[in-house]
């Protein structure tokens, strides 16, 4: 098994290149090995485009005139179970069988109902030698957004906020107040380009008038989500500029105006985070960053509807103001970002790795 791990690690490196571009599909990497030499690599680059296995096989075909003979003696490593159904592209299991690749090493099973175990079964029925579970937890983790959506019917939730060194979120007065430096801002914009959507509450939209885009980063601009119960926000705010799809959760209106979609939750007194996440799940939103304000963040924490929290602590003190949210979880990592400290927490209770093993 250790022999296979070095190639599976390469699959994971390749899979990570697809972040921000393949949702709601998973990120997948594939490596083809012949006599302990990598002869082809590929990853899923864009939603609706060729899968990792196809790109890896095509690289072999392009580089070797005797590709038919080589593939019949090769092993293909893939971080996620090859699909067995027709979706946007043909089944990858059929591709492997057609080229008579004799050995397939798989990182983890695909939890999606149309695939789960079916790709493995199809390959076994064709006489392919199968190994499953190489770096399994790592392969699940890289696709924690995809697994969360499939297993929990909700997006993967990332909480993000900045707090002062004395534990405050913002001043009591309604005014914009920057806690962190430009390095943190650039990193947040990069994060936005990696996720499907970003959410703010009414007060944050009103006070900060954010664009919620990636102008200091790269990648596509995320969809925007705002909670505005009584639709009291001004239509002139940046969030309503129709530049990207924007969801407005409210208690009075269900309509579509350009790229602004109004969703009436009807009951704004109970289970608001649950209703919002389920509606976003129905819209194929696989991951979301919740950026504030404090009331909004606390509502998701209280409902235990979060998977990851990214918390910046700046050097400034407020001495008084709105307290930063309290959160309990495993500290996964700490970083120095400019003059600020970044702590990343993971919610072990919601661990998709545990959930996926439980469902086996």
Smallest Cα–Cα separation from 284: which of 152, 189, 153? 153
Q: What are phi and psi of 78, to 5 degrees?
A: -145, 135
Element (H, E) at 352: helix 352-358
Smallest Cα–Cα separation from 350: which of 197, 144, 107, 111? 144
d(CA 260, CA 297): 23
| DSSP type of residue 72 | T
Query: Exactly one of 53, 136, 194, 206 is catalytic; which is it?
Result: 53
d(CA 263, CA 267): 12
Judge whether 53 counts as a catalytic residue: yes
For residue 231, what are its two tokens? 């639709």
d(CA 53, CA 81): 10
Element (H, E) at 336: strand 330-337
Helix (H, G, I), strand (E, B) or coil at 133: coil
Catalytic residues: 53
């Amino acid at each position: 098994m250790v022999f296979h791990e070095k190639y599976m690690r390469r699959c994971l490196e390749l899979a990570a290149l697809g972040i921000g571009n393949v949702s709601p599909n998973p990120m997948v990497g594939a490596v083809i090995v012949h006599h302990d030499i990598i002869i082809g690599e590929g990853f899923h680059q864009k939603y609706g485009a060729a899968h990792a296995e196809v790109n890896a096989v095509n690289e072999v075909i392009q580089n070797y005139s005797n590709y038919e003979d080589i593939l019949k003696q090769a092993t293909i490593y893939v971080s996620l179970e090859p699909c067995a159904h027709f979706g946007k592209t043909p089944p990858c299991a059929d591709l492997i069988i057609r080229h008579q690749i004799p050995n397939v090493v798989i990182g983890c099973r695909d939890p999606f109902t149309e695939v789960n175990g079916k790709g493995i079964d199809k390959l076994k029925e064709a006489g392919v030698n199968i190994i499953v579970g190489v770096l399994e937890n790592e392969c699940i983790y890289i696709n924690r957004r995809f697994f969360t959506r499939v297993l929990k019917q909700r997006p993967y939730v990332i909480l993000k906020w900045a707090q002062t060194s004395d534990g405050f979120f913002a001043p009591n007065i309604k005014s914009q107040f920057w806690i962190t430096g430009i390095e943190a801002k650039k990193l947040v914009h990069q994060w936005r380009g990696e996720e499907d959507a970003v959410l703010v509450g009414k007060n944050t939209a009103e006070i900060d008038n954010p664009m919620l885009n990636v102008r200091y980063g790269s990648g596509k601009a995320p969809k925007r989500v705002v909670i505005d119960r009584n639709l009291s926000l001004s239509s002139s705010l940046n969030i309503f500029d129709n530049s990207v799809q924007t969801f407005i959760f409210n208690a009075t209106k269900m309509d579509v105006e350009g790229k602004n979609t109004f969703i009436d939750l009807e009951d704004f007194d109970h289970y608001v985070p649950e209703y919002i996440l389920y509606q976003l799940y129905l819209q194929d939103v696989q991951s979301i960053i919740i950026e504030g304000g404090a009331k909004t963040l606390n509502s998701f924490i209280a409902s235990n509807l979060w998977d990851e929290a990214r918390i910046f602590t700046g050097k400034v003190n407020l001495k008084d103001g709105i307290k930063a949210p309290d959160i309990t979880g495993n500290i996964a990592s700490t970083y120095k970002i400019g003059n600020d400290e970044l702590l990343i927490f993971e919610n072990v209770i919601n661990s998709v790795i545990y959930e996926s093993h439980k469902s086996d």
